[in-house]
Structure 1
């Protein structure tokens, strides 16, 4: 740094953002300071979060309202890997019972990568910068075989999810339920999701390794990933975990003899909705009928009801990772529901296999890297387009040594850490334990709803918090939520040991 620059900095030092009483005045462009003005990179990233002023339903432009940083590439990369994996899982789950082959799955994934890129730019990058990207509804995957067995039509299913999601967003129901959820309930939910996700990915990696007769590869890859994560944690570089773990997992597996080959050539998918919803092309189902909508109605209600705990976990992770006075840039639950709903309706009409939710493989790494949503969102859109058109990155993203470690270090371990952080103080452990117990009994949506009711009634958790709630917040809303969710689960046969109440849903 030159002497004139040093003198200027001494005369006008950067804002001390550790002072919570300091009120920032001016636009983002006026308040932005070069990274060299700060004592370290972390201070610069915190400053960027605190000076952003996102605008709803108005243009938010790069460099005027936010900037790109190299940290944005990490969540974008993790998001693209997660997108290929999750859409592929949903498309394959639908395709199997319908007699559709691998070629259908691959082409629909490429199609969805292009569809989602447009909506990422439109909403998260431009009009709703605090709306998380509209990703894939992972918890819904176990339900899809039931939907198919009941005769469910994917377009009808997607359209109802979008319609119900929009109603919930307009009524501010998502943020209301989030505000009624205590730290104990939310922390327990994060712990459960983090643990189940981690163990499932470890199991998947071992299953793959056993399938190629090289079980030791899974052990070596996971052991080295643990060491790498610990080293990055020690040097406060955890935001690099996803790319380095992918490089480590893929490189070690290949070096140890695991087979891998690029086979998805560059190309474009079919872009016509008429192809995808034809009688003899695409899904080979034609357009849905009124009966199609009736069949999927309870599943659509359940899918949207499961949004609230999913969205809440992502928002809370941001709150834990971001510095103080960054409320303006936190993920807005209702705006995310708006974005996911519009994206869901359009995707279903166009012929995509995706069912939308908050994009966890994006928001968790972005929160760790202390980056706001918009810049990384635009990079994610770019990466998705490249992956969809080029084809070869899709092969790498779904290769188990890369995919499994990326999801473990990029999503599930951070969720475990956030859950433990939230349950450190007070009587939160009681509620957290009940969430885990009830989620293991049925699923996270059931665990969240019943524990929300018990916690707000004051039967577990903080009695003082319960006493401070209104009658509506203490028991009416939680009870209605629990009854609706449990009722829908009973109808579709999701309660263990209890047959579906309606014969059409028995399978």
Structure 2
């Protein structure tokens, strides 16, 4: 009888994975949190080997939260990026919709499930490089080509990954610098999203919607934090925002009909179809080199923030499920080259709207990755969910509670001592002077030299870790920023040559 009720029991222990042997049903634990933390502690996810659901990990109800959050974030960010390209190259709104659809299929089918769920679940999903969006007009003005840019970003990313540079930079970034970076990113993101939502409500002559939705979001988020259910913030607050806005008379309609985009790279890179630019030539690759270097330089602080989120929310024994920074860089690089080659307009980076809610929900990468791939594909094919995700009340609230407020909270948790607060303050000051890339590089250099922060930590470092690597990183970041005109008061060096 027992073998019929539980066929797993009949397997010899040698045929079961370590995870299967150690797994216990949720009913044996005093709380759901205990069960989820136990799952994180017993998993031994494998790098670059096949990982299977129920053999190496499970898919839980909590995994739906990062899946929905990631899909909303993906639609929002890719739309913003493709729209920025489209405005520079005089492409139609229909092009934007079709390319975003195409990117959802590329991400969902080729990379989210294949890499982050099955082949290497220690890699975060390859999302969208948001900080590069403001630079797209400069890329176009410099004579850049989207495909050339994507390929060069991928090549530089693979070089950084192969040299283990990403993980080394994460190790050399002290807690104070990490905290300052997260606080700055969180605070600036909060202010930016609230400002955009307010401007939108004014533009449609529905100003009360802004206050009522944000007020309700604050109350709900505070209650979820009190009952330790913050992982529900994105679906609950986004649904609330949409319901309140619609009830107050805010206009909304479904316009994107079901369908599939053109999947031929020759269509997208034709001279009269798709991007209407043809295939890139040598001068296109030369034009985008400084922007590609800058894009990859921005990866380290981005990836660092996402791994820190896991470290803060996972139990200490869960080190075997933490995101591998170098592997994530490798996957983002490969995704960038293949995605751009197929015709997509996305620039890849670590997927924040997936990792942050997944970490808060105490879930590893692979379970939610399977569901994210499924939801992305469904959203692309059905079409209508894209309209809902891009509706201002929904997308602004999703980004507020799913990305920027958790970033702010995590940064504040890391700044507990006077030494860390000093490093954090310098980091935020430097970020405000230029941008987060400059701020992180300068603060890391000063912190490792012992000029700020923990002096004992600085004394324990070798001169390579204390000066050589941080100084080279700072020079590369500043040089890249100078080339593309991102240093305040200085014209772009590339335009002078």
The question of whether the paired residues in 1 share the 8 Å contact of 2:152 and 2:292 is answered with yes
Do 2:201 and 2:210's aligned partners in 1 also have CA atoms closer than 8 Å?
Answer: yes
The correspondence for 1:50, drawn from 41, 45, 53, is 41
Aligned-residue offset at 1:149: 1.1
Residue of structure 1 in register with 2:369 after alignment: 377
- SS of equivalent to 2:354: helix
Instruction: Tell me the alpha carbon deviations over residues 228-267 of structure 1, each in whole angstroms, 9 at most, x when there is no partner.
Output: 0001111111110000001110000000000000000000
Q: What's the secondary structure of 2:275's corresponding residue?
A: coil
Q: Are 2:225 and 1:233 aligned? A: yes
**How far off is 1:134 after superposition?**
0.3
TM-score, length-scaled by structure 2: 0.96
Aligned to 2:386: 394
The size of the alignment, in residue pairs, is: 482
Task: Give the 3-state SS of the residue equivalent to 2:113 in structure 1.
Answer: helix
1:53-92, aligned counterparts within 5 Å?
A: 53-92=44-83
Post-superposition Cα deviations, 1:343-366, rounded to whole Å, max 9, x if no partner, equal: 101001000000000000000000
Q: Residue 425 of structure 1: CA displacement?
A: 2.5
Deviations 1:172-213 (A, max 9, x none): 000000000000001000000001111111011111100110
Would you identify which runs of 4 or more consecutive aligned residues in structure 1 move more than 4 Å?
none
CA shift at 1:26, angstroms? 6.8
1:283-310: per-residue Cα shift (whole Å, max 9, x none)?
0000000000000000000100110000
Aligned to 1:165: 157
Q: Which of these residues, 419, 431, 440, is aligned with residue 411 of structure 2?
A: 419
Q: CA deviation at 1:501?
A: 1.5
How far has the Cα of 1:67 moved from its partner?
0.5
Deviation at 1:97, TM superposition (A): 1.4
Partners of 1:86 and 1:93 in 2: CA distance: 11
Paired residue for 2:442? 450
1:107 pairs with one of 91, 98, 119: 98
Runs of at least 5 residues in structure 2 that lack an aligned partner in the other structure:
3-15
1:293 maps onto 2:285 in alignment: yes
Q: Show CA shifts across 1:64-113 (max 9, x none).
A: 00001000000000000000000000000000011001100000000000
State whether residues 150 and 504 of structure 1, in contact with CA within 8 Å, keep that contact through their aligned partners in structure 2.
no
Q: 2:429 maps to which residue?
A: 437
Cα distance in 2, alignment partners of residues 272 and 235 from structure 1: 49
Superimposed CA distance per residue, residues 335-390 of structure 1 (whole angstroms, 9 cap, x where no aligned partner)? 10111011101001000000000000000000000000001001000000000000
Q: Distance in 1 between matches of 2:169 and 2:107?
A: 27
Pairwise CA RMSD of aligned residues? 1.2
Asked if the contact 2:270–2:276 (Cα under 8 Å) also holds between the matched residues in 1, the reply is: yes
- The residue matched to 1:62 in structure 2 has which SS? coil
Q: 1:135 to 1:219 in 2, by over 3 A?
A: same
**Alignment match, 1:121:** 113
Q: Which residue does the alignment assign to 2:24?
A: 33
Give the aligned partner of residue 203 of structure 1: 195
Match of 2:126 in 1: 134
**Structure 1 CA distance, aligned partners of 2:224 and 2:44?**
31
Separation in 2, partners of 1:326, 1:245: 29
Q: Which runs of 5+ in 1 are unaligned?
A: 5-24
- Structure 1 residue aligned with 2:491: 499
Match of 1:14 in 2: none
How far the C-alpha of 1:53 sits from its partner, in A, is 0.7
